[in-house]
Structure 1
Amino acid sequence: MSTNSALAYEVFTADPIPLNVPELVPNGDRRMFSPLSITLIHGEHDAVLVDPPMTTVQGEAVAQWVEASGKNLTHIFVTHGHGDHWFAANLLAERFGAQVVATEGTIKQMHHNVAIRPGFWDKLLPGQIPDSPVTAVTVPNNRFTLEDHEMVIVEVGHTDTDDTSVLHVPDLDLVVAGDVIYNGVHQFLVEAKNGGLDAWRRAIDTVEALQPRWIVTGHKNKALDDDATRAIKETRQYLNAADELLPQHDSALSFFNAMLELFPERLNPGALWNGAAALYS
């Protein structure tokens, strides 16, 4: 998307891919991974990529997309440690000579996701994930630049996982929000126990205080726009509904059905089912 600034941004959507899970979602859907949003922020010559994808095939598609832009990729920023938002980072960093950047907390979570990769990620997507060494580094004061435009890393704490952050681009009125905000996709509630929903709402408040006009979310229905006000409102509504329904239902299936009835248009009910199972475990 172009703006009045010398900067612009574009979004690549990696479509849902099937998981190596034979059981169907209770509504009959096949188990799928949610669509992924990869953001390219660019100036006249240089660019920054936010949240590279997870599989080799996705990484190659993003590489071709970046090459087609004609821009020089200087940085790859990772918003949080879940592997779907960075496992292809090294593949892209080596290809373009870019530096991988993240917060100290996110780097810790990246190492955790590498540690659980054999028993979790590789079982879901056998043979599909590239080598994923953690090469990310921090930057002073959580800031770096793109052609003299400031890229501001804002740490927001727990959202759908611990130690998450967003990238604020003031000159674009843009926040690239990772999984702090969702856009038309069922939210990942697996790590929402023990105050997780309240912490997530506080993170949303932090993003809202930045007063963005546009938000790119980590998981997005590509048919929807990037309007910040709507995406923030709908993400809060989802968390509030989960909070309200949890004490009203005594099983994961009952909660799942109630949430699905409230949010029938959201993509990937399998993500909701994962969260329901965890919340009632």
Structure 2
Amino acid sequence: MSKLIMNRRSLLVGTAATTLATPSIVSANILGGGPLDQGTTPLKHGVVTVADFGNVKIHSYQSPDLTGCVTTHVIETPERLVFVDGQRSVIYGQEIRDYAEATGKPVDRMIISHLHPDHWFGAYQFRDVPIYSFAETQAEIDQLGDFFIEISIESLGEHVPPAKVVPNHLIEHGATEVIDGVTFEFRHVTDAESDNMMTIYLPDQKVLIAQDMLYNNCHLFCGHGNFDGWKAGLIEMQKDTSFDLVLPGHGPTAGSRQAIDDALVYLDYAQDAYAKSTTGEELKGAILDRYPSYLAAGLVDIQNLFLFPKS
């Protein structure tokens, strides 16, 4: 059977829709990684790692494996809280909001980096604050949000929001904004883990919030089939010497550039394995054999619904 590399929009009318309701969640252990040695806090569900820059702190919340070890980053400025992504769970989204608001500071905004629902389901708990994204992401969530909610209810139940929350404020590609004295640069990335993505650079802190351009010790979601584009973006990131700390969209917040090298090796292997595989199970076996201890193995099941939509 011939394989199709298709974008998410065209796949929504395919057979993946019915299968996606019950993904297989495979447990894995952390391989490498670790905290920033600047403070970690286990919560009831997730764990928070803190990078302390004095008047600015970045609180990075990692969810459990059930929802893909997704990271939400909270930039605590002198007077405000800026959230980057909202989790695949309203429960986990509320947990990180409660944790951050214990500082006594108000939420300035939520920023959504891209279309995938593991980064905006929990934004339902932020519907009372401004929610920002690029125009492409706003349009994609508006069009596909109800679909993602519908197909996730069976597998995720109480974690799923009752309704989509579409970003109501737009960020221009390449925009720079100063929020409570902190400079944010919003970079547009295409044809990588998703077709349209955002990374955020904090020049004063020398921090790159890479989100799903980068995973750390987790299986990468390659469902869009953008292997070459993703690798090209990571190579550009690798060459960029302006940041000292890089924060991923999934997995332990180790902050190390080593995660970029690891992701490139993973993508090379996954691309080659995909070219040699005729079914999703064959590709899954190859990936899990090579990376048996990586977190979020359930993402491999979900990606294969898109890489092998008729199998």
TM-score by length of 2: 0.75
Alignment partner for residue 131 of structure 2, among 86, 96, 100? Answer: 100
Alignment partner for residue 158 of structure 1, among 164, 167, 191? Answer: 191
**2:143 matched to which residue of 1?**
112
**2:217 matched to which residue of 1?**
184
Which residue identity lines up with residue 253 of structure 1 in the other structure? E
| Aligned 1:235-250 pairs, distance under 5 A | 235-250=263-278
Report the Cα distance in structure 2 between the residues aligned to 1:247 and 1:139, rounded to whole angstroms. 37
Report the Cα distance in structure 2 between the residues aligned to 1:142 and 1:255, rounded to whole angstroms. 39
**1:197 matched to which residue of 2?**
227
Deviation at residue 126 of structure 1 after TM alignment: 3.1
Deviation at residue 127 of structure 1 after TM alignment: 4.4
**2:205 matched to which residue of 1?**
172
**2:283 matched to which residue of 1?**
255
Report the Cα distance in structure 2 between the residues aligned to 1:259 and 1:167, rounded to whole angstroms. 30
Alignment pair present for 1:279 and 2:307: yes
Deviation at residue 3 of structure 1 after TM alignment: 4.7
Deviation at residue 277 of structure 1 after TM alignment: 4.8
Alignment pair present for 1:91 and 2:91: no
Q: Taking every aligned residue pair, what percent have the same amino acid on both sides?
A: 18
Alignment partner for residue 147 of structure 1, among 165, 180, 198? Answer: 180
When residues 144 and 62 of structure 1 are mapped into structure 2, their CA distance, relative to the original with a 3 A threshold, is: same
Alignment pair present for 1:138 and 2:187: no
Deviation at residue 48 of structure 1 after TM alignment: 0.9
What is the SS of the residue equivalent to 1:172? coil
Which residue identity lines up with residue 198 of structure 1 in the other structure? D
Q: Which blocks of at least 5 consecutive residues in structure 2 are unaligned? A: 1-49
Is the CA contact 1:214–1:226 (under 8 Å) kept in the aligned structure 2? yes
**1:8 matched to which residue of 2?**
57
Deviation at residue 114 of structure 1 after TM alignment: 1.0
Is the CA contact 2:72–2:83 (under 8 Å) kept in the aligned structure 1? yes
Q: What number of residue pairs does the alignment pair up?
A: 257
Q: Which deviations, in whole Å up to 9, do the C-alpha atoms of 1:238-280 show, x marking residues without a partner?
A: 1111122223333333322222222122112222233345434
When residues 124 and 233 of structure 1 are mapped into structure 2, their CA distance, relative to the original with a 3 A threshold, is: same
**1:52 matched to which residue of 2?**
86
Deviation at residue 160 of structure 1 after TM alignment: 2.1
**2:244 matched to which residue of 1?**
213
Report the Cα distance in structure 2 between the residues aligned to 1:209 and 1:103, rounded to whole angstroms. 25
Report the Cα distance in structure 1 between the residues aligned to 2:106 and 2:228, rounded to whole angstroms. 40
Is the CA contact 1:182–1:218 (under 8 Å) kept in the aligned structure 2? yes
**2:9 matched to which residue of 1?**
none
What is the SS of the residue equivalent to 1:80? coil
Q: Which deviations, in whole Å up to 9, do the C-alpha atoms of 1:20-54 show, x marking residues without a partner?
A: xxxxxxxxxxxxx3111111111222221111113
Which residue identity lines up with residue 208 of structure 1 in the other structure? Q
Is the CA contact 1:14–1:36 (under 8 Å) kept in the aligned structure 2? yes
When residues 160 and 75 of structure 1 are mapped into structure 2, their CA distance, relative to the original with a 3 A threshold, is: same
What is the SS of the residue equivalent to 1:201? helix
Alignment pair present for 1:225 and 2:254: yes
Deviation at residue 106 of structure 1 after TM alignment: 1.5
Is the CA contact 1:7–1:171 (under 8 Å) kept in the aligned structure 2? no
Is the CA contact 1:5–1:171 (under 8 Å) kept in the aligned structure 2? no
Deviation at residue 68 of structure 1 after TM alignment: 1.5
Report the Cα distance in structure 1 between the residues aligned to 2:52 and 2:125, rounded to whole angstroms. 30
**1:270 matched to which residue of 2?**
298
Report the Cα distance in structure 1 between the residues aligned to 2:207 and 2:301, rounded to whole angstroms. 31
Report the Cα distance in structure 1 between the residues aligned to 2:237 and 2:139, rounded to whole angstroms. 22
Higher relative contact order (CA 8 A, sep 6+): 2
When residues 125 and 3 of structure 1 are mapped into structure 2, their CA distance, relative to the original with a 3 A threshold, is: closer
